[in-house]
Structure 1
Amino acid sequence: MKNFIFLFIIFYQAVFSQVADYKLGNELSNLEKSNSLNPTSNTIIDIIAIGDTIWLGTSRGISVSFDHGENWTNFYETSPFGNDNISAIGYDNYTRTFWCATAKSQEVTGGQKLPAGTGLKYTTDFGNTWNSVPQPVDGQNDNQVQYGINTLSALPVTVTVQNLCYDIAFTPNTIWIATFAGGLRRSTDNGQTWQRVVLPPDNKNSIVPTDTLDFCLAPVGGSFCSVGNLNHRVFSVLAVNDSTVLVGTANGINKTTNANDANPSWVKFNHQNQDNPISGNFITALGYSKLSNTIWASTWKAEDPDEFYGVSFSSDGGLNWQTTLYDERPHNFAFKFAQPIVLTDNGAFRSTDGGQTWILPNSIIDNQTGAHLRSNVFYSAAVTGNYIFLGSDDGLARLRENFGSLWEGEWKVYLASQPLNSAEEVYCYPNPFSPRQELLKFRYSTNGQEEKVTIRIFDFGFNYVTTVIQNASRITDIEGAPDFWDGKDDNGNFVPNGVYFYRIEIGDKDPLFGKILVLQ
């Protein structure tokens, strides 16, 4: 169970943690649908690129660009999103419809906070109008499901807590969603009704509708179903083509080639049931390269001590698997031609030889502003033409890659923050600031002129702590790139919790001051 708890921790860090978008005591709030040079969030959960249109799912709603990321339209705190987080996004190529799933943190008995699904939203006109679909839940009496010749008991999932959508996929006239508590579900009427899809239980490697089956459809055991099934805890879903769907669970990868049937047949691949298996049964993400006909899977360690973390891939439809990037914990996949890009906590890995060797980008620095993307934690990526977009836990990066090169070209870095009201204003974020988890960013302006800038930190008694930059040449405007403090003093030690002050000297102007609250 600890691995499933860990996934929820990761999900909170990725989706529900919004400290990177705070000013001192003032969240970026009361935003309306607006145009901006940046998305409204620095936590980019997922990216979809279609031509020059880029969709982002973030901790602050949906952002979209129609010009390769030069300008963004943001939907945070607009109807129907409110301030909910985005847990999954998807694009239906059959109907040209963009879908997203939303979630929020909800307090349950005992004061514990858990993620809860708040439904799905979709648009057919690039965000001009949105339609809402309630989070799929069952009625108290929805305790059976038909599969072929079998009437199976099924745990009714009547609440939205831990019942949120982690992934979305599409086949003709069908929407598929992967949820933890709710399992695998599909809809053929634009989300108005949902059907629970039966997957094999843990003790079976395949099912067909003509089998005689006797198990309870439930992710966890309890009073209704005495035994729960890891294979009914669903985290990822991928449509390979019109009839082939892959489903990642806590017990492996499930595959059907007759997805459009009323009762699809399924075969399961996991670490225990193949000669050349996946590395681990906890499948947090799936990817497919059409050019190489290769399935890629994020295969985390589940409950078997013999399992391990890594990336597993198969070029024969799942019959045999190879493993690469041992001990990495991947979050997602993207592809440039047949080259896989794997997003992990240690960078964006890319291979040109089918996963034998991997290359990380060098320092990601905006060619125009000098802004750095300093995080190594990447959640998402997308490719369109010679553009590569990388989504991290602390900003978005775009590479306009040189033809025939690898990770070389013009970088653009997007760091979400509230624009300054004037050249005389300064602030820092996130604030409160946790040095061991993030970097503090200073936002100020040189009014578009080159100036020498010095930033120093002082404690509450105004005793000197450290110098962030000294007489550094800077050219910024009210949306310029920030400078960073790692939370350490001149001796390289993290400063203790407390209130600190910063002093920013810009040329020969009067110094500007601000306050920092350090909390670890």
Structure 2
Amino acid sequence: MENVKENHSMSKIKKEIILFILVFAGFVSYINAQGIPTDYGSESRLKKTSDVTPASNTIDRILIQGKNSIWLGTSRGLSRSTDNGTNWKNYYKTKDFGTDRISAVAEGLGAVWAATWHYVSDASGNPVPKGTGLRYSIDNGETWVTIKQAVDSSDAVKVTYGVSEINALPITATEQNFIYDIAFTKNAVWIVSFSGGLRKSTDMGKSWQRVVLPPDNLNSIKPSEKLDFDLAPSSGRLNMRGNLNHRAFSIAAAGDDTLYVGTANGINKTIDANSQFPSWVKFNRTNQQKSISGNFVLSLDRNAIDGTIWAGTWKAEGQTEYWAVSSSANGGKTWETFLTSEKVRDFAFRYYTDGSTDVFAAAETGLYRSSNNGMTWIAAPKIVDSESKVELRPTLFLSVECNVLNSNATEVWIGTNDGLAKAIESPSASWFEKWKVYFASSGTITTNESFAFPNPYNPKLDLLRIKYNLSKASSVSLRIFDFGMNLVRTVLQNASRGSNIEQIDYWDGKNDEGIIVPNGVYFYRLDIGDGTQLFGKILVMM
């Protein structure tokens, strides 16, 4: 009898195969979708995302504006909540943002700024990041001004720095030229990018000035010195002397005159940022006794209470370099290193009324917290929604920010490649007390419905999530079948699940032998304890 029932169910699925294939034909353009160049996750969805959630599960950037406004830079554009995460406005596929991704979000000069980019293919068909500029809004996201990606004219082969005329490689293309980070000083917006280097604008992005940083072989420069080097991130078509220090990735302002700029050759500091020709000093792995851990500086932030600079310092090319957190409490004169081997992407700070601070570090492998300036760190516990019991299962932690609501409540927002989480803390909490998890999962479902996402699905990049709702608490079994209706994997067997709350269970793309399945069409079947069966289709594409 069981076999008859199962064959009838599978026959029902077979009738949908042709329609299923036609539905997925429209998703071919997503097959090669990739994340930000440091391997952020890819995104693709079957249905329109509800404004109950952000549009993406890959949360690269978080900006807290005031007490209740949360801005997210994601792999599917910009998202905003003005009620602390209850509802979201997604700018994906709007006229101002199109389908661009967001690489930076910042607030300054009376506006909210977002940097945009997407992938294009090079001559060999390989994906290459392409910058598409900036958008800024002075009315909290109601309207936007578009700024094109900053590029140079082909004859811009010289730049003046004090008494020197320096050869400069003109960056004429937007490929490999997208904005990683944004900062502000008095009347100026500053941007950093891989090939575009450090640039500033004093007219809200209408024009941009290339800013000269030291070359790799100099630890400092002054405009009064006669200098001979090339402003060039690579040799380029003019065969210039390329400098890793002219590839910029992070920036942090410390007041109106001080800037820290992270590159592929260390951290550069100026205390006269608003002068026509700022002087710079460079800190890297080899030019100090107590130095940073690595020269590839992917993230920078500043503790507003004590002024300590925190940097995610990655291994670049030096034999003695290593991945870690580097911090300086004396303006860069000396550095301490923590969390050895961790690839840290972002920092945040929880400020207490007694003047103390907790530091958060979002590393690829987890979220860490220190209450003693980095001497010891505590890893975040498993992230499980306090109400739905849905678990966040990221393989990358990408961003973190703190929002102090009042003296009794602080929220810690955490961005990953598996969704967004909010932790709610009281002053006495040593870690998180209450969690809220946000998944971009095509909205809500009714009782005895289900769907799978992301779909198409790449097991090498993500976990497949199967979302469903139950009319009452029950046991649930989840099985995966291939196109020929052969059993591939028993994911769950009579697992207990609650009622009236959306459930999410996971498949890692592997069969019962622990091997990733090949590309193709697959089906899932949920067997509910009351005899109900829920079905769905999955397209595996790697």
SS at match of 1:446: coil
Cα deviation, 1:316-370, whole Å, max 9, x if unaligned, reads 1000011111111111111112221111111011111111111111110001111
| 1:6 alignment partner in structure 2 | none
1:172 shift after superposition? 1.2
1: distance between equivalents of 2:432 and 2:346?
Answer: 22
2: distance between equivalents of 1:213 and 1:149?
Answer: 8
Change (3 A) 1:412 1:255: same
Cα deviation, 1:102-126, whole Å, max 9, x if unaligned, reads 0011122232220010010011111
Conserved? CA contact 2:59–2:420, under 8 Å: yes
1: distance between equivalents of 2:346 and 2:281?
Answer: 23
Conserved? CA contact 1:444–1:476, under 8 Å: no
| 1:408 alignment partner in structure 2 | 432
1: distance between equivalents of 2:412 and 2:445?
Answer: 32
Conserved? CA contact 2:445–2:469, under 8 Å: no
| One-letter amino acid of the structure 1 residue matched with residue 488 of structure 2 | V
Conserved? CA contact 1:397–1:413, under 8 Å: yes
Conserved? CA contact 1:439–1:484, under 8 Å: yes
1:301 shift after superposition? 1.1
1:464 maps onto 2:487 in alignment: yes
2: distance between equivalents of 1:111 and 1:502?
Answer: 33
Conserved? CA contact 2:469–2:503, under 8 Å: no
1:487 maps onto 2:509 in alignment: yes
Question: Could you tell me the percent identity over the aligned residues?
Answer: 45
| 2:58 alignment partner in structure 1 | 43
1:54 maps onto 2:70 in alignment: yes
4+ residue stretches of structure 1 with deviation over 6 A?
Answer: none
1:231 maps onto 2:236 in alignment: no
Q: 2:393 aligns with which of 370, 374, 377?
A: 374
The TM-score with structure 1 as length reference comes to 0.91
Conserved? CA contact 1:420–1:444, under 8 Å: no
Cα deviation, 1:222-269, whole Å, max 9, x if unaligned, reads 342431111111111111111100000111100000111011110001
| 2:530 alignment partner in structure 1 | 508
Alignment of structure 1 residues 57-206 onto 2, 5 Å: 57-92=73-108, 95-206=109-220
1:492 shift after superposition? 4.3
Q: 1:453 aligns with which of 440, 462, 476?
A: 476
1: distance between equivalents of 2:453 and 2:402?
Answer: 30
| One-letter amino acid of the structure 1 residue matched with residue 425 of structure 2 | E
| 1:361 alignment partner in structure 2 | 380
Q: How many residues align?
A: 497
2: distance between equivalents of 1:345 and 1:362?
Answer: 15
Conserved? CA contact 2:477–2:491, under 8 Å: yes
Cα deviation, 1:150-192, whole Å, max 9, x if unaligned, reads 1212111111001110000001110000011111000000000
| 1:4 alignment partner in structure 2 | none
Change (3 A) 1:158 1:301: same
| One-letter amino acid of the structure 2 residue matched with residue 261 of structure 1 | S
| 1:343 alignment partner in structure 2 | 362
1:519 shift after superposition? 3.8
| 2:468 alignment partner in structure 1 | 444
Change (3 A) 1:238 1:291: same
Q: 1:397 aligns with which of 397, 404, 421?
A: 421
| One-letter amino acid of the structure 2 residue matched with residue 505 of structure 1 | D
SS at match of 2:344: coil
Give the CA RMSD over aligned residues. Answer: 2.0
2: distance between equivalents of 1:130 and 1:258?
Answer: 31
| One-letter amino acid of the structure 1 residue matched with residue 112 of structure 2 | F
1: distance between equivalents of 2:403 and 2:199?
Answer: 30
Cα deviation, 1:27-62, whole Å, max 9, x if unaligned, reads x45x7xxx7221010000010113211110000111
Change (3 A) 1:481 1:176: farther
2: distance between equivalents of 1:467 and 1:222?
Answer: 54
| One-letter amino acid of the structure 2 residue matched with residue 415 of structure 1 | F
Range with bigger deviation, 129-138 or 101-110: 101-110
Conserved? CA contact 1:168–1:237, under 8 Å: yes
SS at match of 1:365: coil
| One-letter amino acid of the structure 1 residue matched with residue 324 of structure 2 | G
| One-letter amino acid of the structure 1 residue matched with residue 154 of structure 2 | Q
2: distance between equivalents of 1:294 and 1:110?
Answer: 45
Unpaired stretches in structure 2, ≥5 consecutive residues: 1-33, 352-356, 405-409
Cα deviation, 1:255-309, whole Å, max 9, x if unaligned, reads 0001110111100011111111111111111011122321111111111111111
1:489 shift after superposition? 3.6
Range with bigger deviation, 220-229 or 449-458: 449-458
1:508 shift after superposition? 3.4
1: distance between equivalents of 2:428 and 2:205?
Answer: 43
SS at match of 1:132: strand
Cα deviation, 1:61-89, whole Å, max 9, x if unaligned, reads 11111122121111110021000000111
Conserved? CA contact 2:445–2:468, under 8 Å: no
SS at match of 1:387: strand
1:375 shift after superposition? 1.1
| 2:310 alignment partner in structure 1 | 296
1:12 shift after superposition? 3.6
1: distance between equivalents of 2:252 and 2:57?
Answer: 26
The TM-score with structure 2 as length reference comes to 0.88
1: distance between equivalents of 2:306 and 2:240?
Answer: 43
Range with bigger deviation, 405-414 or 107-116: 107-116
2: distance between equivalents of 1:10 and 1:60?
Answer: 10
1:10 shift after superposition? 7.0
Cα deviation, 1:211-230, whole Å, max 9, x if unaligned, reads 10111111101342431111
1: distance between equivalents of 2:534 and 2:141?
Answer: 41
1:491 shift after superposition? 4.7
Change (3 A) 1:212 1:70: same
| One-letter amino acid of the structure 2 residue matched with residue 46 of structure 1 | R
Conserved? CA contact 1:106–1:115, under 8 Å: yes
| One-letter amino acid of the structure 2 residue matched with residue 309 of structure 1 | W
Range with bigger deviation, 387-396 or 136-145: 136-145
SS at match of 1:237: strand
Unpaired stretches in structure 1, ≥5 consecutive residues: 1-8
